[in-house]
Amino acid sequence: MGRDRSAAGAGHHERISPVYRAVMTAAGPIVRWWGRLEVVGLADVPLEGATIVAANHDSAWDPVVIAVAARRQRQIRALAKASLWKNPALRWVLDGMGQIPVRRGQADTDALDAAVQCLSDGGCLGIFPEGTRSQGKQLRARSGVGRLAQAVPETRVICAAVSGTVDIARFPRRPRLKVTFFEPTPSSPSESPLDMAARLTAELREVAPLPAAT
């Protein structure tokens, strides 16, 4: 359960930070055992080089579940709301995991610069094209993922369609988590950043449809 045989035996080509590894170890039993995680297409996640993992966003658990699913391949850095850094202990964890604070609702050039630097350094960056949790509603895609892909042209974009995460907290009912990694359709030279984000969102939702609003 929760094992993608296609990636068995794959080695890491980049260093995984101790804090990131510890968080993944702690989250593993919840996600893999309690969540009955199924991972599909893990081999599509590059072992190295500039990579964007674009995912749908239905639950606060999405980043953790995707990170656990991709753990054998990459450390995924993510853009997270800056307010999380107000808690000193959480700030230490987030910094140790390499997460990037972003101030929502305003142009945050520092976050954009940090994200571009991550990709330029050959890192792996997780992005939700929808920007925030869906809460059962169809959201307008945001252009950020397209702008970052254009800023670092060698970046590979991989989709991560995640489902079942809205059920994690519904104890004693066990969720059935699934993460499907896949390569999206190729981008055309004339595609705008917003059009790219919309295309990725549509392809993600074909695999992981919107859950019912709660």
In one-letter notation, the amino acid at residue 10 is A
CATH architecture for residues 5-207: 3-Layer(aba) Sandwich (3.40)
Under a CB-based contact definition with an 8 Å cutoff, are residues 97 and 77 in contact? Answer: yes
Q: Given the structure tokens 């990709």, which residue do they identify? A: 119
**Alpha carbon distance 23, 102 (integer Å):** 21
The greatest distance separating any two alpha carbons of the chain, rounded to the nearest whole angstrom, comes to 50
**Are 37 and 31 spatial neighbours (Cβ–Cβ below 8 Å)?**
yes
For the chain, 214 residues long, the average pLDDT of each consecutive 10-residue run is 38 76 94 96 96 95 96 92 90 93 75 94 95 82 93 97 92 93 94 96 95 72
In tens, the pLDDT along 68-86 reads: 999 999 999 998 888 889 9
Structure tokens at 49: 């080089």
Tens of pLDDT, residue by residue over 1-36, are: 343 433 333 444 577 899 999 999 999 999 999 999
| Per-domain residue ranges of the chain | 5-207
